[in-house]
Amino acid sequence: MGEKLRMAARVFVYGTLKRGEPNHHWLTKKENGQARFLGRGKTDTKFPLVVGTRYNIPFLLARPGEGNHIEGEVYEVDQTMLSKLDILEDYPDYYDREQQTILMEQNETIQCWLYLIRNFPEKMLAKELLISYHNTPERPYNENYLESCPEDLAMDE
């Protein structure tokens, strides 16, 4: 089977999976499968993007129309990589994922999967609504977050 046929999906990443961010190595690790960078883009629909919990995790909240057009990167991935990303994001228990329209810097419009939080406490919407996520030393991301569910974590604050 040719490489094209094995590329199963396109994924829009806006958080720790972006280049230079703490989970990007998941996309580059050969054992995880294949990922090809297609370009930078932003969501056609506005979403609230917040950094939440004491673990400083980026959350794109399933409240379309609120917040900003979120900036991120698009990757074409094979089935092996998509399964690995689902494990990282603890889909469908922690993050859900759905297809959204992404406006590429090259002006194309494409459909991509993105990970988002379906059930969240309303108070998360009172946080700063970001356009773009960057991990910083002041707010370091902590990967231990998978020890709890998002509802529990939000209660930590």
Binding residues for ligand PCA, rule: CB under 6 A, are 13-18, 23, 58, 89, 115
Query: For this structure, is 73 an active site residue?
Result: no
Which residues, other chains included, contact 94 with Cβ-Cβ below 8 Å and sequence gap of 6+?
117, 146, 149, 150
Closer to ligand PCA by Cβ: residue 2 or 20:
20
Exposure class string for 3-40: b at 16+ Cβ within 10 A, else e: eeeebbbbbbbbbbbbeebbbbebbeeeebbbbeebeb
Closer to ligand PCA by Cβ: residue 7 or 16:
16
Closer to ligand PCA by Cβ: residue 5 or 60:
60
Going by the DSSP 8-state scheme, the letter that residue 53 receives in this structure is T
> Coil, helix or strand for 59?
strand
Q: Which residue is nearest to ligand PCA (CB)?
A: 15
What minimum distance in Å lies between the beta carbon of 58 and ligand PCA? 5
Catalytic residue among 31, 89, 138, 143: 89
> Coil, helix or strand for 81?
helix
Active site members = 89
